[in-house]
Structure 1
Amino acid sequence: MESDVKDEAADICVAAAEKYKDNLEKAAQVIKDALDKKFGGRWHVVIGTDFAHRITHEV
């Protein structure tokens, strides 16, 4: 992803998350619609408060 696209996508995400901080489902839908319209294609948006990940590796 190019730097200018990344910055614009981040701005869209921050604005929606701040505007709909009490309704994460609405924030995700607004972000998805904005990214689909602005950059084309099909974007997937996952937003929430309790996400984690773990990566392991064995030789």
Structure 2
Amino acid sequence: MPEDTKSDAIDLVVTACEKFSSSSRAARMIKEEMDKKFGAPFHVLVEEGFGFEISYIQSRTCYMFLE
């Protein structure tokens, strides 16, 4: 993910996770804002203690872990 997009995504994720205690509401906010700002489709997962398997394009992927 380009640095400017990554910076915006990090800010958005932190804001959404601080605003909502529900991971589904945070994920919805992040997805809707990323789709509006950068074009669809974005896939967003927000959850504690889960695993996943996805296909992705290297230049359009950003993994974030908040503690």
RMSD (CA atoms) = 1.3
Q: RCO greater where, 1 or 2, for CA within 8 Å and sep 6 or more?
A: 2
User: Structure 2 regions of 5+ residues with no counterpart?
Assistant: 53-67
Please show how residues 16-35 of structure 1 align to structure 2 within 5 Å: 16-20=16-20, 22-35=21-34
1:7-57: per-residue Cα shift (whole Å, max 9, x none)?
00110111001100x21110000000000000002000011111357xxxx
Which residue is equivalent to 2:6?
6
User: Structure 1 regions of 5+ residues with no counterpart?
Assistant: 54-59
SS at match of 1:33: helix
Larger radius of gyration: 1
Q: Percent identity?
A: 40
Could you list the structure 1 runs, at least 4 aligned residues long, displaced by more than 2 angstroms after superposition. none
Taking structure 2 as the reference length, the TM-score comes to: 0.71
- How many pairs were matched up? 52
Taking structure 1 as the reference length, the TM-score comes to: 0.80
